[in-house]
């Protein structure tokens, strides 16, 4: 049962990373505009994320510290406030896009405006956070998230050219519109290597009281959990390339994108698209709300746990309550969720190196990891990831201006 819990954490993290508004939106647009040629960005992001997730799970299992807690103790709160500020801004922006995604899924299903759905969606997420335990959220989202496998099934059913799909896993020159190609590549990597996935996973591992005995399962879960999400995201790209691209549908809005499943699957495809969008975004919204509370509470040394009752960690509960209230405002103003999502992904990339770079120091500190510090392979991988994060941060603003 304990190993099943770890698998649930991996899938929950994967749902937040791959099956939410950011990955769904970027994958749809990538497939519609460039067929399979951006699959390499998903693959690269998945490898980077698997390394980061494994490290943070190892840190939690060996030291019983989360990433944020270890950084605060290692570098001091005066340095920690910078990655905290960057990540809170990113989390709130992405949370707003996820709430908009759930509200839009309900609008598509009912015809009732996103503005009307914004408050009920926020209330539902808040009630789940207020009443449910971490395990209940983890396993509920992991189970419901399986609906998104419809994209993989549909991709296989459409019989793509697997040779062409394979070529898309290798970086190549953009076939056209290099600015748009760069923009989508940056957005895909930003959606995949999102900082909150790292901090959320380590917090979840501490919530579940992992120990050194869990190091091997952690490696398996990091690889398989992230691969699950990557498979879904690639399935979305393939279906978009086969359905949207030939029809000239750019997927600039989710309303346009519904045909990605309704054309091959009929009316059931429409409902499955709405369910995938709603469930994926709701899972990510739960994850992001918790992450805001986690990182703020851990930075300032407050009591924190989703398993405690709200009155036992009043400040922890107050933070996710305030975060949800703020994140509801764009939906109440009828801001397009997909446009907000694409902007959020670019901002995520800018914050990425600020959050990830200190990990290289933490993961080589024997005071936390004892004999389980990074090996040379992992250190090289993290150094490459940090360099990639800095490069993406430099690219993010110009590609946002030229490729959006």
Per residue in 78-126, pLDDT (tens digit) is: 888 888 888 999 899 999 999 999 999 999 999 999 999 999 999 999 9
| Topology (CATH) of 2-403 | Amino acid/polyamine transporter I (1.20.1740)
Mind listing the pLDDT tens digit for each residue in 242-297?
Answer: 999 999 998 888 888 899 999 999 999 999 999 999 998 998 899 999 999 999 99
pLDDT at 403 over 60: no
What does the block give as tokens for 125? 């997420």
Q: What is the reported pTM?
A: 0.88
pLDDT averaged over the chain? 86
pLDDT of residue 399: 59
Q: What is the dihedral of CA 272, 274, 278, 284, to 10 degrees?
A: 70
pLDDT at 17 over 60: no
How far apart, in Å, are the Cα atoms of 335 and each of 37, 241, 297, 330, 348?
30, 27, 30, 5, 19
Percentage of the chain surpassing pLDDT 90? Answer: 47
pLDDT at 402 over 70: no
pLDDT of residue 163: 95
pLDDT of residue 18: 55
| Mean pLDDT, range 369-381, rounded to an integer | 89
pLDDT of residue 11: 53
| Lowest mean pLDDT across 132-146, 159-173, 233-247, 302-316 | 132-146
Chain position carrying tokens 């993961």:
363
Supply the angle between the helices 67-75 and 195-207 in degrees, to the nearest 10.
100
Confidence of residue 143 (pLDDT cuts 50, 70, 90): confident
Cα first-last separation, the chain: 46
Closest CA to 236 of 267, 280, 193: 280
pLDDT of residue 176: 80
pLDDT at 404 over 70: no
| Lowest mean pLDDT across 92-101, 137-146, 375-384, 390-399 | 390-399
């Amino acid at each position: 049962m304990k190993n099943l819990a770890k698998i649930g954490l991996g899938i929950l993290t994967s749902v937040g990373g791959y099956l939410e508004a950011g990955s769904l939106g970027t994958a749809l647009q990538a497939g519609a505009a460039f067929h399979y040629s951006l699959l390499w960005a998903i693959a690269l992001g998945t490898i980077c994320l698997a390394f980061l997730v494994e490290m943070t799970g190892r840190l939690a299992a060996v030291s019983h510290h989360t990433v944020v807690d270890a950084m605060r103790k290692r570098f001091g709160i005066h340095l920690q406030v910078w990655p905290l500020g960057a990540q809170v801004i990113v989390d709130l922006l992405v949370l707003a896009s996820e709430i908009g995604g759930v509200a839009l899924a309900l609008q598509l299903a009912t015809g009732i405006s996103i503005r009307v759905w914004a408050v009920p969606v926020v209330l539902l997420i808040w009630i789940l956070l207020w009443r449910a335990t971490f395990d209940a959220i983890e396993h509920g989202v992991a189970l419901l998230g399986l609906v998104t496998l419809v994209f993989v099934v549909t991709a296989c059913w459409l019989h793509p050219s697997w040779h062409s799909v394979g070529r898309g896993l290798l970086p190549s020159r953009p076939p056209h519109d290099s600015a748009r190609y760069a923009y989508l590549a940056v957005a895909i990597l930003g959606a995949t290597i999102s900082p909150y996935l790292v901090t959320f996973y380590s917090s979840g591992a501490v919530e579940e009281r992992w120990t050194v005995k869990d190091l091997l399962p952690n490696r398996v879960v990091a690889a398989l959990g992230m691969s699950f999400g990557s498979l879904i995201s690639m399935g979305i790209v393939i279906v978009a390339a086969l359905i949207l691209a030939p029809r000239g549908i750019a997927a600039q809005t989710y309303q346009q994108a519904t045909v990605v499943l309704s054309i091959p699957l009929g009316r059931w495809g429409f409902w499955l698209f709405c369910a995938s969008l709603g469930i994926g975004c709701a899972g990510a919204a739960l994850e992001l709300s918790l992450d805001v509370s986690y990182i703020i509470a851990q930075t300032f040394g407050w009591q924190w746990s989703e398993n405690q009752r709200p009155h036992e960690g009043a400040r922890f509960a107050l933070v996710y309550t305030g975060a949800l209230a703020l994140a509801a405002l764009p939906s109440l103003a009828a801001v397009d969720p997909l446009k907000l999502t694409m902007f959020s992904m670019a901002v995520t990339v800018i914050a990425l190196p600020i959050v990830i770079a200190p990990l290289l120091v933490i993961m080589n500190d024997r005071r936390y990891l004892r004999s389980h510090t990074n090996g040379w392979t992992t250190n090289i991988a993290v150094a490459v990831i940090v360099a990639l994060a800095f490069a993406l941060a430099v690219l993010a603003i110009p590609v946002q201006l030229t490729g959006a």
